[in-house]
A and B are shown apart, each in its own frame.
Chain A
Amino acid sequence: MAYVAIADSDPHMHDPDTFITKYIWSQDHKVIAVQYSITAILVGVVALTLSVLFRLQLGFPDTFSLVQPNEYYQYVTMHGMIMVIYLLTALFLGGFGNYLIPLMCGARDMVFPYMNMLSYWVYLLSVIILLASFFIPGGPTGAGWTLYPPQAISPGTPGIDGGIVLMMLSLAVFIVAFTMGGLNYVTTVLQARTRGMTLMRMPLAVWGIFVATILGLLAFPALLVAAIMMLLDRVLGTSFFMPEMLSRGEILDYGGGSPILFQHLFWFFGHPEVYIVALPAFGIVSDVLSVHARKNIFGYRMMVWAIVAIGALSFVVWAHHMYVSGMNPYFGFFFATTTLIIAVPTALKVYNWILTLWRGDIHLRVPMLFAIGFLFTFIHGGLTGLFLGNVTVDLPLSDTYFVVGHFHMVMGVSPVLVVFAAIYHWFPKITGRMFHEGLGKVHFWLTLIGTYSIYLPMHYLGILGVPRRYFAYGDTEFIPESVQTMNAGITVAALIVAAVQILFFINVIWSLWKGPKSGPNPWKANTLEWLTPDTPPKHGNWGPRLPEVHRWPYDYSVPGEKEDFIPQTEPPRAGVIAGRDHGAHD
């Protein structure tokens, strides 16, 4: 039977004609991707501003009085929650996932475009609910981003009136939005790939986003369960998580609940969440490194297996976040073991990235710089993770700045560097114009050096025993004078890094209007998104015919070829296959 591409015969591919259906109520995955990205980045800027405010307090506690103790906790909480969920999760999956999956798989759109549109608008609603908590009496919740009960809903914690309720509602709405998007991403990858695009010919970026979405679909329900139950504890006075409590001399109406139960639920979501953010970053970095090193990715199969293995393992490590909650030593042993095991596929990926660079024809363009920067920060953050994965090391370090340094390195700076790498890498495709190279390089170096000067000293503070979560230290015996100096230094670095991000926005806006035309494939890459008939791609992506895929996406610098790249749509050459040198891969 002759092959009929599903999307080629799709009668429902109406072209949107009005401004509103094109850019606002759009069902086009590319527009939705941009909507997701802009919303996520804007709310991320809010979170960045909050961090500047509380860093000023930490660095110069007596100079500025911008922040009161209550606000300090509220800002820290909102900073964490926004960065992890509303920025990184939404940007990697809703933003890059939406843009890249159909283009890289050779589909015309997501399989359920209407639901995809709904996903964005529900996400926007969750952001609005979250930000609304700044404008209600009592302000947003100050429970810390982990929202542990009983403290999250006990008198004395800021935002107990409305803030915590809005937080729970917003999370629940976000999960609905994510599920609608996630169904699309998974089904599109499974069912809507173009002819010849087998699973093992997908670029690693798609693999990372795909597995991360599966993790999200299975893990977010845990957060939903926790949010629903805590909401009922707070609003209706049930006692799922709330134990019998004496608060300010009064016995509360609660009794019998288990706070530890919440922790299990939260981290059953929370640990996979780390990989929901990390796996897309892994995938994107693999593609960026390969393209700009003009070399095939080292160990493609291993990279795919590692992504799948990390995804599976990430569900059995959650309790390493709970060593200090007290647990059976065997339990701790089990989780320490699984935690260290997950380092194996992760390290394998790191080696493969480095081996991809080995003897490559490396072009140090801006996306490549950010990708290599990611290697440094990720190795660094990963190694301190090995420290913290061990129960005996974790216990003394758990409540110190060592942990803050660790997770910002591995889960803050690293993914954000990949976000920048990805934006600089795909900017020519999204807009059809090049960004300013020099400005991008300045942005990179100041960001990399700046973030190192923020988080490296934090590890030292942590080993000194400086506790985290404190508004001000005052005169504390075990904290030497030098700690205050170091905190001031960290704050200065943080201010510089925050200010430097303005360069990025200037670059994006300037390039949108004034950037030179990029052409369809400025990096000479192989993957399908660079082979669209129009740049930026039009609605439906591929013109009258879908592309057909003849090879894997990493045929760079193939010996005996004129060009150093062979696009995926290039049919096999007669006589070339047999004599081809596959080098060390066989």
Chain B
Amino acid sequence: MNISLLFALLAGAILVWWLLVRRLQTKPWLEQGIIEEQGAVDAPAPRVGLWVFLAVVTSLFGLFAMVYTMRSEFPDWRSLPDPSLLWVNTGLLILGSIALQLARGAAARDDLAGLKRNLTAGGVLTIAFLVGQLIAWRQLTTAGYYMATNPADAFFYILTGLHGLHMLGGLWFWGRASLTVWKGLEKSTMTEVSGVRLRVQLCSVYWHYLLLIWLVLFSLLLST
């Protein structure tokens, strides 16, 4: 319950912060004429949309983490062995995140070769991570840890599965960005180039965030 209260406090704090920052204490009935305010924050709409989505993702995984800790305190909880493969997978995901960060830098410098190289590396590393997670599942099932064996096992599959699904969603956007980069960037106009920049940027943000979530989940899995 503590975590959920913390979560609620955090949500409240964000709201209060927002209140202060946005200066909701203006008196609109006294002000006339144009007031310049281009968007609440200085960022393109897709970027803001991604932040809002990450808030939803945080809520989802935060609630799962809360339920996980609550359920793990029950006496029937039998921890499962943590496959050492998970460490390798974690490494792959960290590398993938770094590669996308490099791709982002390359896109900013208009370095097309670097962009292609790093973008591909990021995707391939992520796919390797997902394959690694599947192999970890196989290892556990052959060792006799099934979904219904114990809530600890069920949670393991749900949390890794849900995280994997979010990675897959990210890969879809990665795939679309890669297609643009590989197919037509040489002969494209400036606006499309800036579009690719933004897409790669958003991919890297999303990857870093999912890496963070994975690290939290992984430590949670290790700690019980």
Closest 10 CB pairs of A and B: A256-B76, A552-B28, A572-B32, A221-B60, A191-B39, A237-B148, A238-B154, A111-B45, A190-B40, A187-B49
| Contact residues in A for B28 (Cβ distance below 8 Å) | 198, 200-201, 300-301, 551-552
A521→B47 CA distance, assembly (Å): 36
The answer to whether residues A217 and B55 also contact, given A190-B39, A195-B34, A315-B12 and a CB cut-off of 8 A, is yes
| Contact residues in A for B64 (Cβ distance below 8 Å) | 225
Give min CB distance, A296 to chain B, whole Å: 7
A297: nearest residue on chain B (CB-CB)? B29
Asked whether B148 lies within 8 Å of A255 as measured between CB atoms, the reply is no
Partner of A221 from the list B33, B41, B63 (CB cut-off 8 Å) is B63
Give min CB distance, A582 to chain B, whole Å: 6
Residue B74 at the chain A interface, CB threshold 8 Å: yes
Asked whether B48 lies within 8 Å of A218 as measured between CB atoms, the reply is no
The answer to whether residues A222 and B15 also contact, given A239-B151, A300-B29, A301-B24 and a CB cut-off of 8 A, is no
Asked whether B147 lies within 8 Å of A582 as measured between CB atoms, the reply is no
Give me the interface of B with A, judged by CB distance under 8 Å. 1, 4-5, 8, 11-12, 15-16, 19, 22, 24-41, 43-46, 48-49, 52-53, 55-56, 59-60, 63-64, 67, 70-71, 74-76, 147-148, 151, 154, 158, 191
Residue A352 at the chain B interface, CB threshold 8 Å: no
| Contact residues in A for B31 (Cβ distance below 8 Å) | 551-552
| Contact residues in B for A257 (Cβ distance below 8 Å) | 71, 151
Partner of B56 from the list A3, A221, A256, A311 (CB cut-off 8 Å) is A221
Asked whether B147 lies within 8 Å of A179 as measured between CB atoms, the reply is no
| Contact residues in B for A304 (Cβ distance below 8 Å) | 24
Asked whether B48 lies within 8 Å of A187 as measured between CB atoms, the reply is yes
Asked whether B59 lies within 8 Å of A218 as measured between CB atoms, the reply is yes
Number of residues from A at the complex interface, CB < 8 A? 70
Residue A463 at the chain B interface, CB threshold 8 Å: no
Q: Which of A196-252 contact B (CB under 8 A)?
A: 196-201, 217-219, 221-222, 224-225, 228-229, 232, 236-240
Q: Which of A193, A239, A253 has the most CB of B within 10 A?
A: A239
Asked whether B4 lies within 8 Å of A198 as measured between CB atoms, the reply is no
B12: nearest residue on chain A (CB-CB)? A312
The answer to whether residues A225 and B29 also contact, given A196-B35, A238-B154, A258-B74 and a CB cut-off of 8 A, is no
Partner of B45 from the list A187, A311, A549 (CB cut-off 8 Å) is A187
| Contact residues in A for B29 (Cβ distance below 8 Å) | 296, 300, 552, 554-555, 582, 585
Q: Which of A130-185 contact B (CB under 8 A)?
A: 179, 182-184
Give min CB distance, A231 to chain B, whole Å: 11
Asked whether A316 lies within 8 Å of B151 as measured between CB atoms, the reply is no
Give min CB distance, B78 to chain A, whole Å: 10
Asked whether B151 lies within 8 Å of A193 as measured between CB atoms, the reply is no
A452→B196 CA distance, assembly (Å): 59
A6→B60 CA distance, assembly (Å): 33
Asked whether A236 lies within 8 Å of B27 as measured between CB atoms, the reply is no
Asked whether B4 lies within 8 Å of A264 as measured between CB atoms, the reply is yes
Asked whether B19 lies within 8 Å of A308 as measured between CB atoms, the reply is yes
| Contact residues in A for B59 (Cβ distance below 8 Å) | 217-219, 221-222
| Contact residues in A for B63 (Cβ distance below 8 Å) | 221-222, 225, 265, 268
Q: Which of A564-582 contact B (CB under 8 A)?
A: 571-572, 577, 582
Asked whether B60 lies within 8 Å of A224 as measured between CB atoms, the reply is yes
Give min CB distance, B54 to chain A, whole Å: 11
Give min CB distance, A241 to chain B, whole Å: 9
A-B contacts, 29 listed (Cβ < 8 Å): A112-B45, A179-B56, A183-B52, A183-B53, A186-B52, A192-B39, A192-B45, A195-B36, A196-B34, A199-B37, A201-B28, A221-B59, A222-B59, A229-B67, A232-B158, A236-B148, A237-B147, A239-B148, A258-B70, A258-B71, A258-B74, A312-B15, A316-B5, A316-B12, A551-B32, A552-B29, A554-B29, A582-B29, A582-B30
| Contact residues in A for B55 (Cβ distance below 8 Å) | 217-218
Residue A8 at the chain B interface, CB threshold 8 Å: no
Residue A305 at the chain B interface, CB threshold 8 Å: yes
Partner of A256 from the list B5, B60, B75, B191 (CB cut-off 8 Å) is B75
Partner of A550 from the list B34, B44, B46, B71 (CB cut-off 8 Å) is B34
| Contact residues in B for A111 (Cβ distance below 8 Å) | 45-46, 49
Residue A261 at the chain B interface, CB threshold 8 Å: yes
A264→B49 CA distance, assembly (Å): 29
B53: nearest residue on chain A (CB-CB)? A183
B34: nearest residue on chain A (CB-CB)? A196
Partner of B35 from the list A198, A258, A296 (CB cut-off 8 Å) is A198
Asked whether A548 lies within 8 Å of B70 as measured between CB atoms, the reply is no
Partner of A312 from the list B11, B27, B36 (CB cut-off 8 Å) is B11
The answer to whether residues A550 and B37 also contact, given A221-B60, A236-B147 and a CB cut-off of 8 A, is no
A190→B67 CA distance, assembly (Å): 32
| Contact residues in A for B25 (Cβ distance below 8 Å) | 301
A253→B147 CA distance, assembly (Å): 14
| Contact residues in A for B5 (Cβ distance below 8 Å) | 316
Asked whether B33 lies within 8 Å of A572 as measured between CB atoms, the reply is yes
A552: nearest residue on chain B (CB-CB)? B28
Give min CB distance, A25 to chain B, whole Å: 20
Give min CB distance, B38 to chain A, whole Å: 8
Give min CB distance, A257 to chain B, whole Å: 7
Give min CB distance, B135 to chain A, whole Å: 21
The answer to whether residues A232 and B147 also contact, given A190-B41, A198-B37, A301-B25 and a CB cut-off of 8 A, is yes
A82→B53 CA distance, assembly (Å): 26
Q: Which of B12, B15, B27, B28 has the most CB of A within 10 A?
A: B28
A95→B14 CA distance, assembly (Å): 28
A308→B11 CA distance, assembly (Å): 12
Partner of B34 from the list A258, A548, A585 (CB cut-off 8 Å) is A548
Partner of A218 from the list B1, B30, B34, B56 (CB cut-off 8 Å) is B56
Asked whether B30 lies within 8 Å of A232 as measured between CB atoms, the reply is no
| Contact residues in B for A586 (Cβ distance below 8 Å) | 30
Give min CB distance, A134 to chain B, whole Å: 30
Asked whether B39 lies within 8 Å of A193 as measured between CB atoms, the reply is yes
* Seed contacts A191-B40, A550-B33; 7 additional CB < 8 Å A-B pairs: A6-B38, A112-B45, A201-B28, A237-B147, A240-B151, A265-B67, A550-B34
Asked whether B45 lies within 8 Å of A225 as measured between CB atoms, the reply is no
The answer to whether residues A585 and B27 also contact, given A265-B67, A311-B15, A548-B34 and a CB cut-off of 8 A, is yes
Give min CB distance, B44 to chain A, whole Å: 8
A219: nearest residue on chain B (CB-CB)? B59
Asked whether A240 lies within 8 Å of B39 as measured between CB atoms, the reply is no
The answer to whether residues A217 and B19 also contact, given A301-B24, A548-B34, A550-B32 and a CB cut-off of 8 A, is no
B32: nearest residue on chain A (CB-CB)? A572
